Chain A
Amino acid sequence: MLLSFHSYKGGTGKTTFVGNLGAMLARDGQKVCIVDTDVSGPGIHSLFDIKYEKTLIDFLQDTCNAKDVVYRYKDLNLFIVPSRACEEDISALFETPQDAKNKMLELINFIKDEFNIDKFIFDCSPGINKSSLLTMNIVNKATIISTIDVQDIRGTYILSSMADKLGTHANLVFNRTPRDKQKEIDGIVKDFSDNLGTNLLGSIAFDESIARTWSRKIAMLDDPECDYCTHLREIAQGLI
């Protein structure tokens, strides 16, 4: 199964969500691969503290093999394909979008066969860009992580329309919602999601303890019973 995670604005907690989701699935016995397609601002390698030599960009530029860009995280069945910051969009590295898509599928198929991966999770660039749309186009399920910020809400409308145009049904998660108004906000965002025709997976309240890890810890591995992890688990059940 291929899952992608998108956001319109940065700072929605998408990468933290993706990292913790991957860790959760791997802890539950699944074989997971997280691919960092956020080439304009990659962060997965920092979250998992991966010291890389070759990255997704090197593979896409044909300067290394697929096996050179896959890094196992500790002794978990969690594999990471990191990216390095690149000023070019992924699709700009290819003559046609189909070439870009084929090269991505080549990588996915290699990793799937080599490591028997059950779930691929793609951490995509924020905003509307070709690499994000390319990923949205190849996955089984796309999920938009939003906050209740007006900029994000309007962007979520645009992203869900794009998903619709690509024939990919979008899921929606509201992250970092105010804890004291959680119940009311849950009702409001449910109506919003229904009106947009997206599938609301749930919402996660702003969690100071997660914010204060500053990407130095992965809550799902450190404190899997915490409030954030409990909510994430519920959301994952709705998604998978």
Chain B
Amino acid sequence: MNKWFKSGSPWIWLSAGGVSISLISVLGLLWLIASRGLSYFWPAELYQFDMVDEKGIATEVIGEIYDRERIPASQLAHLELNLDPEQTSIERLLIKTGNRELVSLDFRWILAPQIITTSTPEKLVVIERRTNGNFYGFIKQLILDGKPVAFSRFDELLERVDNFQEQLDKLQKVDIGAINYQLERLRLKQRKHDLDGTLTSALEEEFRQQSNSLNKEYVQLEEKLMQLRNNIARDALVVTAMNGEEITINFEHILKLSFNNQLSIIDKINVFFGQIIDFVLDDPREANTEGGVFPAIFGTVLMVLLMTVIVSPLGVIAAIYLHEYAGKNALTKLLRIAVINLAGVPSIVYGVFGLGFFVYMVGGSLDQLFYAENLPGPTFGTPGVLWSAITLAILTLPVVIVSTEEGLSRIPASMRHGSLALGATKIETLWRIILPVASPAIMTGIILAIARAAGEVAPLMLVGVVKMAPNLPLDGNFPFLHLDRKFMHLGFHIYDVGFQSPNVEAARPLVYATATLLVTIIVVLNMTAVKIRNNLREKYHALEQ
């Protein structure tokens, strides 16, 4: 034993334990996020519990099992549950009961000992709705234009409504949005002329005519909108909730209807993937706590793309300078310290700098110079997607520099010598020989920068992210790309929904799902980058031999 201790073996094992803990935590973390996130999409079994509470009153609870935990029996002593005295803990279930219009909370704890029977009736249905969250219950009657009809016609009616709904969305977002946008631009144009002192009465008349015709168009569209709304509201569904309460759900609120307990495994898998696709492509509902995350994905991607456009040339040029041009002097040392520090400065400091310098100083000056007609309303003098992209570009600059420089340093000197010996100038050597060979390293740097930017939230909270953006930064209205607009971001979505939303409990699965999506994107990006880098190393290795 003593000898064993002296050999140092226990210490070696302890340090191995450190590796194990690190591995367990990385993999455990990924597994935790993935399992919680993906289960959000899996169609849950629907339960009906018949219960008797401590006062002897029978109730019925319908819903999904959301969570279960054991609590010490002593905590519930006051309820007089007639338990086995041996039993020290009691199981309780958190049930998602939905039906928010009937009960104020859509979650409810029930105690396992109070449950008399548990069943999974095949006719139980879950209805996903536009407002008030899910509905759980039984179908009673389908009503077509006030007259009851057979339930088998449900799919046909829903499809009809979906059709109208699609038209409605297009009308609201695209057509009416465009008119509003044009009206606003018209107003600004007029104001600009007014400020410049070039507003003649003829011009004014022209503006008035244009705005009149736009307003007329608007009225027409509005009429169409009303018509569509009426069409959509034609049919309804009568359902019974738990405890026999009857309610009518109009078709305009119904998104999806599913008899989860009737689904086979293959059906469930289908539903699972369908749900994932919906999640990625849909707009959020109910203050972001339901629906999809499309605007957040779109905002993240757009911002990251803009950032890439800015950071790639800068980073590559800086790396080339450091590796190919810089001499061994104090300036180079300073530069290296600058790169290290840019990588080490807390991201929130970039946010503060971005807000003060880009948004208020640069943006404010731009507004004074070019967007005076909109003042005092800011155009670029307020957080937006452009400033976010620039701020993150500075933040990720060192990532690109370090990676590119590493790639450059791995290129064998013989390649440079060969090119120069053949009479090429330095820039020709760089452009024709070095950069093409180093391009995978540059790619690696850019991918790592993208991964970093996609996960960064703190600076964006100051320079452009919002919880709910009314318009995407890219749309069909000239000039199509609106760099001044605020945008939504997956990382901020997680923070906002998980911590700022009024109903955190209900939103939690969605947060896990969003987190899964974000982690997947980032892990895939990182693995790609590592893969490219490793391939590159091997290739250079081969070149050197």
Answer yes or no: are A and B bound together in one complex. Answer: no
- Which A residues lie at the B interface, using CB under 8 A? none
